[in-house]
Structure 1
Amino acid sequence: MNEFKGKIAGVVLLFFLLVLVSSLVFFQPTNKTTGEDKVIEITGNQLLTQLNYLSFAKLDGASVSAEVTLPVIKDRLEKHPYISKADVEYLSKTKIKASVTEKNIFAIILTDEETFFITEDFEVLPILPNVEMMEFPLISNLRESKKIKALKILRSSEMLEAFRIIEAARFTEMSLYKNLVEINLRNGGDIILTFSGMKAPIIFGHGHESRKMLSLEVIFKEIADAKKDYSTADYIDLRFSNEIYIGKSFDTKYQSTGLSE
């Protein structure tokens, strides 16, 4: 009798274990569709709105068909030129969260015909309608600007030099980076920088980016502390070792720089 009761208890216990395992499997989130339409929420976006990204991925309806799986959503979003990665997951049976990682924009390239973004990896990206135009340094007058194409890598010697200038500004003093408006490459001539809050252009020349940024840091601190007045200067020349040349447009040395080019 006791043996029979033991067998009954074992069967009952096994039954409950099977029910428990089945419940866990049934309620576990999967990539499969649930048979219901779904709503997608995008997070991590700054350059474009959620609607812009969903419209590109053809997922911009009020809800998405139940047949659209997580891998499909991920693949469509990662085809966008601004997105490097998309992590997609279910929040509920009818709600999906897509966490996107946008490419890191380093600067804006100005050409006679078009304007582009360029990423930290030297990838040229188109500037799309409705993009959120944050404050990035401008890079202008590249030697081969007519050959620049979107979705191509532009790792030329002059672009490397422009990147070094931006990095030197960022690591020397963040206010220098934030105030850096334009890097004019002048088609291979002496590079000229423009800063907000500084009327005079900076004749930067080539090379020694860190040393020159330290000189500019001194100038900006003198302006901030009202120790020196640079408002009457027509240009500031950093091309000479251990010297900062403050000049007027009628000076011979200023005219020789060819700023009119």
Structure 2
Amino acid sequence: MKNLGGKIAFVIFVILSGIVIYLSLSLESKKEIDITIININGNVHLPKNSYFEYANLHDKQNYDLLSLSVIRDRLQKHPYIKQVTVGYAGNGKVIVNLIEKEFKAILLTNGERFLMTSKMEALPVLENSQNINYPVIQINSDNRIKPFQIAASNSEIKTAFKMLTAAKLLNPSLYDNLSEIDFRNKRNAVIYFSSVDYPVIIGRENEIKKLVVFERLWENISTVQANKLLEYVDLRFTDKVYLGIAGENLQVEETQS
């Protein structure tokens, strides 16, 4: 459903952009445009007012100093923005269509918080950010993650991204419930899911393979009854899955297949 929604949104954006470009070209011969209204569409992770303030578009008294290219260039510099289309619709109205960057996770590291794009670019979480309920990746890095830079050289971030991609491909329910991947313990990586209380311990090797094994169990151990019984799931060992039973010092051992 998410993929379908994304495709529909993209088609709508293409149609709107085409209209905007047509309107802009039809007015190409005009040297001056009297701008009185600016409408912004496509904002998801920030309210419109935040984009207006960033681009210094909130004061209508200064609109006589603006042009379509100035509006586009100002918004294009925003760290959340991937693409901007600006066009004049007549009667003083300017239409701005935004495509924001694709975000995949929130990174917590050494007291800092970043929004991670699909290209592993680390962006500061800006004030008034919204709709950022992405999976959390926690790491302790000796090398500080720098804002606005690609963090693909960090092995833990790369592994976490692979795990998120694998979860999405394996099972939409598994991906939707995956809330956190914690790499702070140097010996054991731990996954948390929003719909269950127990942690899933996967160790530090063959993380994707272990996630595949866990997905086979997911439908059975994501139930309300299983959540009451389990204290943890342990996948640290290559050939075994251990289930910790709540209230008892027992482990249920299952062989991976």
TM-score bracket relative to the smaller structure: 0.7 to 0.9
Runs of 5+ unmatched residues, structure 2: 1-24, 252-257
- CA shift digits 1:213-259 (9 cap, x unpaired): 33222322113567x735333221112234211136999999xxxxx
**1:12 aligned partner:** none
**1:53 aligned partner:** 51
3-state DSSP of counterpart to 1:234: strand
3-state DSSP of counterpart to 2:229: coil
Larger mean CA deviation between 67-76 and 180-189 belongs to 180-189
CA contact (8 A) 1:143 1:187 kept: no
1:94 aligns with 2:86: no
The structure richer in strand per residue is 2
**2:226 aligned partner:** 229
Correspondences of 1:150-229 after superposition (within 5 Å): 150-155=147-152, 156-223=154-221, 229=226
Separation in structure 2 between the aligned mates of residue 164 and residue 84 of structure 1, nearest angstrom: 23
Letter in 1 for 2:235: L
User: In structure 2, do the counterparts of structure 1 residues 246 and 35 end up closer, same or farther at CA, with 3 Å as the change threshold?
Assistant: closer
Separation in structure 2 between the aligned mates of residue 144 and residue 42 of structure 1, nearest angstrom: 41
Correspondences of 1:14-163 after superposition (within 5 Å): 28-30=26-28, 34=32, 36-62=34-60, 65-144=63-142, 147-155=144-152, 156-163=154-161
What count of residue pairs does the alignment treat as equivalent?
226
Separation in structure 1 between the aligned mates of residue 201 and residue 222 of structure 2, nearest angstrom: 21
CA contact (8 A) 2:229 2:246 kept: no
3-state DSSP of counterpart to 2:214: helix
CA contact (8 A) 1:53 1:77 kept: yes
Deviating runs (4+, > 6 A) in structure 1? 249-254
3-state DSSP of counterpart to 1:154: coil
Q: Give the drift of 1:200.
A: 1.4
Letter in 2 for 1:243: K
**TM-score, with structure 2 as normaliser:** 0.78
- CA shift digits 1:54-86 (9 cap, x unpaired): 110001124652331111111100111100110
3-state DSSP of counterpart to 2:230: coil
Separation in structure 2 between the aligned mates of residue 103 and residue 81 of structure 1, nearest angstrom: 8
Letter in 2 for 1:85: Q
CA RMSD of superposed structures (Å): 2.8
Separation in structure 1 between the aligned mates of residue 179 and residue 58 of structure 2, nearest angstrom: 36
Letter in 2 for 1:238: L
Separation in structure 2 between the aligned mates of residue 222 and residue 253 of structure 1, nearest angstrom: 19
User: In structure 2, do the counterparts of structure 1 residues 253 and 32 end up closer, same or farther at CA, with 3 Å as the change threshold?
Assistant: farther
User: In structure 2, do the counterparts of structure 1 residues 207 and 42 end up closer, same or farther at CA, with 3 Å as the change threshold?
Assistant: farther
One of 233, 236, 239 as aligned partner of 1:239: 236
Separation in structure 2 between the aligned mates of residue 172 and residue 140 of structure 1, nearest angstrom: 23
* Percent of residue pairs identical: 32
Separation in structure 1 between the aligned mates of residue 187 and residue 29 of structure 2, nearest angstrom: 56
The structure whose Rg is larger is: 1
Letter in 1 for 2:228: S
- CA shift digits 1:115-174 (9 cap, x unpaired): 1111111111011111104320101123236x1221111111111101011111111111
Separation in structure 1 between the aligned mates of residue 205 and residue 119 of structure 2, nearest angstrom: 21
CA contact (8 A) 1:31 1:70 kept: no
